[in-house]
Structure 1
């Protein structure tokens, strides 16, 4: 605009001043090397104005040409971006449909001109793994990492795909690298928990559980279940490696609250019994039954191989003083009296157990006791009754 104004001003000046100088045009001599150029002052002014105008016109033409070129490039670039978006969208739809080969082809082809190439390569990695090509999967993940090596989504996708491919150790390694800077990420922590479960790596799982519960990744009920599973799993591993002595040492190292959980007491007792440490197992079980009348624990008493069942009988009889209607206590007492061949006492407790809670196993024990008492008719009648209980009810 300024140049245009200057040009117009020059033209006006030429028109106004030109006639005034017509009678006194002056003289201009330009000498360069051996060349000379002569002209009037008026001619020089007009020449300068014409050259200036020509320069301005040439500049305008060049700008227009460059503008057209830029618009053309922009049109082609926009077309490629639109095509890439369409290919990405179609590729993701193919992935949802399970057409992994076509999905991989489309998202990779669109990656170069995609608005978010990172997502294209992550989708391609999943498609490659779904076709069983873990090498190509890792190549796509590398391309994604090259775009943004610090991106949490890339690393989490890598860990998820490794987990789905049952590469649990590799997934744990990936997640552990992330955990230092993302210790509160719920997706990371949940996936790490699942890896530990698959690997049966109980110690780190136990260490992780309080953190999971605190952040709300798992509910209190799930945390309690996982704690029992992990503690019991750890006790199993210790027993396999170090026998009943190792298990006893581990049990003594646990805090009081943990040792009071019936599920863990039951796990401990069963493991000790499998390794012929029934007496040590009963010592722990007896102490537990002083504070609890858990039916699961009571049912473990007759499963132990003890040299003397009298202390166990006395303990169970003490329980009946506080709860005479516990069928598990009556059943356990009946089984212990059978071991001591006290058939009448055993009969009374089995009858009471069946009265409180009909149970096929107790029917079987009572039938055996009746046969020992030579009461064949009662045993036969009870067998028919037990058969009715065992058969499914008719609809």
Structure 2
């Protein structure tokens, strides 16, 4: 607008300057019905220029008044917000001083005027929880813009039952999200539900995952073993590559298959790992998974793969266990005594005591049991 007025003003100023420089003012006659106006061109151009100046001034005045009214309206509308914020500042002091009921009400009143409403809502929920008003606490948490923050807050407050209820009421897409899986894992830990933790174990941090992995897997394995072979196979299929490289996981799976009468399937799980690296956890499963018929072939396979590892106590103890399964007590004793000379393990010593008992060496067996105690 102002640029257009300036341009017109320059043009009209040129119209005024031209006749003045030529010393000819010109003549203008304007007739409106019975009214006529006679004037010079210079005077008319000057009047138009003055009129444009008045229009510009009027426009500036109107916009200034409008801004003033807008500022006044904004000031009046923000007045209640400023009062609520002032009360909220006082509410924080009340919260620190332990006046939870008053603090909760003041913080709830500050929610509509807060730039981040969830922050005073969480503080109000905390205050109401400490004041004992769980209904108001739950009302504040349900109004959060971030729904997952509600059960997370309840879990932080130690109300695990309410946290579980609030989490179960969330939409499925939220519970299946990454943050929802992490919260589900924390809930399972708080409830002591290790089998439930297994479903969301990957949502934990690396340190927590390593800490709770074996517990969660063993709990889920017990459930699968109770459900039967099909459930155990499904659990095996969902294991990732990293889990399949854990010897304790493979050993537990193999023993579970053996307990269900599927010793051959258990051997198929552990033998590739033993061929690559004879871990103690894997070797310990062989005497359990082999019977009298298969023990000899399994022992020959071990000697073929690792014939040069005659200083490996776990391998020697495994060979002793396989010899015991075959009924070769002399070889079993020789292998087990050699293993115990390298490393003292209670399970190996107990197996040696059983071998000595079958050989009739009761004094030696008693000595082995005494060392166990």
Instruction: Give the TM-score normalised by structure 2.
Output: 0.61
Whole-Å separation in 2 of the counterparts to 1:278 and 1:301: 10
**Among candidates 217, 241, 246, match of residue 261 of structure 1:** 246
2:104 maps to 1:107: yes
Query: Structure 1 261/124 Cα, relative in aligned 2: closer, same or farther at 3 Å?
Result: same
2:92 pairs, out of 79, 88, 98, with: 88
Q: 1:302, CA displacement in angstroms?
A: 1.9
Listed as ranges, the gaps of 5+ residues in structure 1 are 1-69, 95-101, 391-395
Q: What's 2:139 paired with?
A: 139
Aligned to 1:352, which of 309, 322, 338?
Answer: 338
8 Å CA contact 1:107, 1:120 repeated in 2: no
Contact 2:250 2:270 (8 Å CA) reproduced: yes
Shift in Å, 1:352: 0.7
Conserved in 2, the CA contact under 8 Å of 1:92 and 1:107? no
Match of 2:297 among 303, 307, 311: 311
The corresponding residue for 1:122 is 122
1:299-378 aligned within 5 A: 299-304=284-289, 306-308=291-293, 309-318=295-304, 320-376=306-362, 378=364
Q: Secondary structure at the match of 2:307?
A: helix
User: 1:137 deviation in Å?
Assistant: 1.8
1:278 aligns with 263
CA distance in 2 between partners of 1:371 and 1:160 (Å): 58
Q: For residues 231-270 of structure 1, what are the structure 2 equivalents within 5 Å?
A: 235-241=221-227, 243-248=228-233, 251=236, 258-270=243-255
The alignment status of 1:218 with 2:184, answered yes or no, reads no
> Which deviations, in whole Å up to 9, do the C-alpha atoms of 1:325-353 show, x marking residues without a partner?
22222222223323333221111111111
Deviations 1:136-178 (A, max 9, x none): 3222235xx3xxx6x33xx343121344432336326548555
State the Cα distance separating 1:304 from its structure 2 match: 2.9
Q: Distance in 2 between matches of 1:377 and 1:232?
A: 38
Q: Residue 150 of structure 2 aligns with which residue?
A: 158
Equivalents in 1 of 2:238, 2:83: separation in Å? Answer: 69
How far apart, in 1, do the equivalents of 2:234 and 2:89 lie?
A: 63
1:270 Cα deviation from its structure 2 partner = 2.4
Return the offset for 1:374: 3.9
Corresponding residue of 2:275 = 290
Using the alignment, how far apart are the partners of 1:239 and 1:376 within structure 2? 38
| Cα distance, 1:291 vs structure 2 | 1.9
**Paired residue secondary structure (2:276):** coil
TM-score (norm 1): 0.58
Tell me the distance in 2 between the aligned counterparts of 1:278 and 1:247.
13
The whole-number CA distance in structure 2 between the counterparts of 1:382 and 1:204 is: 43
The 5 A counterparts of 1:169-208 are 170-171=166-167, 174=170, 178=174, 190-195=182-187, 200-201=195-196, 205=200
Shift of the 160–337 alpha-carbon distance from structure 1 to 2, 3 Å rule, reads same
Kindly indicate whether the alpha-carbon contact (under 8 Å) linking 1:159 and 1:175 is maintained by their aligned counterparts in 2. no
CA deviations 1:12-57 (Å, max 9, x no partner) are xxxxxxxxxxxxxxxxxxxxxxxxxxxxxxxxxxxxxxxxxxxxxx
